Structure 1
């Protein structure tokens, strides 16, 4: 699968991580932006 949107690795509240595709969420809320640790 290919995406033209940025992919982000985000730290969760429990110290783990999850990945999101910005195309699935549209504009990210500030609470998520502040926890982004890596973007591709």
Structure 2
């Protein structure tokens, strides 16, 4: 836990960017999958 807190406090901007890009990629994948199934 202490290590995780240290990492997040040390590299918060890049962590937020990685999280946002992950959400974007996941959302795009779900969107494409839904459109491919025709819903």
> Where on the TM-score scale, by shorter chain, does this alignment land: which range?
under 0.3
TM-score, normalized by length of structure 1?
A: 0.22
More strand by share: 1
Higher alpha-carbon Rg = 2
More helix by share: 2
